[in-house]
Structures are given as C-alpha cells and as structure tokens.
Amino acid sequence: MELYPAIDLRGGRAVRLQQGDYARETVYGDDPVAVAESFAAAGAHWIHVVDLDAARDGGAANLPVVAAICAAVPECSVQTGGGVRDAAAAQARLDAGVARVVIGSAAVEHPEVVAEVATAHPSAVAVGLDVRGREVATHGWTRGTGLDLFAVLGELADAGAAAAVVTQIAVDGMLSGPDLSLYEALLDATAIPVIASGGIGELVHMHELGALRSRDGSRTLSGAIAGKAIYEGRFTVAEGVAACTP
C-alpha cells in the first residue's frame, strides 16, 4: 500500500474542505508547490492533487499549479482529479505532467470517457467514486444516483480503469477512521487496484488499512489518501510512508 498525501487546490492555495463543503474550508498553505516538495522530501512516492475549483465550476483553474507541482517533484508520481469531464480535459492534465488522472462524475455518467482515455493511455486513468454507504454520489456529493458502488465499479473496470479512488463521504475530513468494512469488501469485489479515501485521522488508521486482505489473502489496498491528518500534525508523511511498509 502506498501513502498518497493530498493537496486540494482552491484559488491556487492548499486547502481542505470538511465533508466536501466549500463553506467549511481551512487554508493550509499559500504555496502548494512547497507543500509537494515537502511531501517528496519525506519519502512519498505518489501525491494526490485535486482541483476543487475545476471540480465545482469546470475548466482547469489550477492547472498551472498542477504543472508546477509535477515539475518540482520529478521523483514523485502525481495523480490529479477535479473537473476531468472529457478526454480533452484528461489529456490536458497528462500534458501537464501528471502520471494518472482521476475521472469522477463523468465516469459514472459517461463510462465511454474512461474507455477513450484508457485506450489512448493505458494505466493512466483512475475513477473517483464517492459513496454514502454503498450508493454512488456525483457532482461534489450533491447528487445521489441510486447506483450501487460494486455495480458501477464493475462497469468501469470493464471500460479500462486502472485504479479506483473510493471515498466514504460520511467520514471524509472527520479524522474518525476509514470505513474498513467497505474496503475489505472491495478487495473481494474487484480486481483493479483500490485507493482508500476519507476518515484517516491517526497513524493507526494507516496500519488498519494496510492490514486489510481479500478473503484469499492475495490482495491488499493499493493506496490510502491522507490530507487533514497530515496538515494537522496527527502524523507525518514519513511516518505514513513507513506505516505502509510491511
């Protein structure tokens, strides 16, 4: 399992939202590039970057910042999402230097976008699935779809998704612990790599996620995204990376 320290961008700054609410924003830094450099120096292999402005409004408001992060940390792979609604938007992020794009609402509504990007760039597209319980939500968590996570993930795996970032909305930003039962079930439900997101607040949560196995013991989580816990000093990136090492 890899630690994915997160940088959420809004107005060019590194911020965090509580449960996706733009009205509940905490600013953690005016220089996201410096934040990324600190993550790389601490041993992170991946950095997860979300353009919150693009996620809400479309476009690519923070794409220059994403490109600057990629250029500043060539030793890291950068995964980015937010506002990736078609193949052209995905290509723009890849041209900026990211290793993998995350397609969220568009993947649920238009799986053919995933297939188009995956055909051109195998292994470079992940899907971002946000859930309440097991129901997939879209458009910044504002719309319930009535769709079951496991059914949607099966369809997107067939479309060529190379990984799935699965966020449990109920615990995101709350630091209260991840939905372990959800991720344990996912290890048996899909063959594609699963990255856990939401709820990590202590180093023990990283250990708990890292200990999850499929029933046959052959699969573990591919990664875990942590943001607020790192920014608030619950644990360091170096400690999180070490927790991922068997």
Q: Which residue among 8, 51, 53, 179 is the active-site one?
A: 8
pLDDT in tens, 58-93: 899 999 999 999 999 999 999 999 999 999 999 999
Q: Which residue among 51, 53, 130, 179 is the active-site one?
A: 130
Q: Can you give the pLDDT at residue 141?
A: 63
User: Which domains, and CATH codes, for the chain?
Assistant: 2-243 (3.20.20.70)
148 is catalytic: no
* 16 confidence band (pLDDT: 50, 70, 90): confident
What are the C-alpha distances in Å from 124 to residues 101, 102, 173, 225, 226?
6, 9, 27, 18, 21
pTM across the whole model: 0.94
Q: Can you give the pLDDT at residue 234?
A: 97
Q: What is the DSSP letter of 91?
A: H
30 is catalytic: no
- For all residues of the chain together, what is the average pLDDT? 94
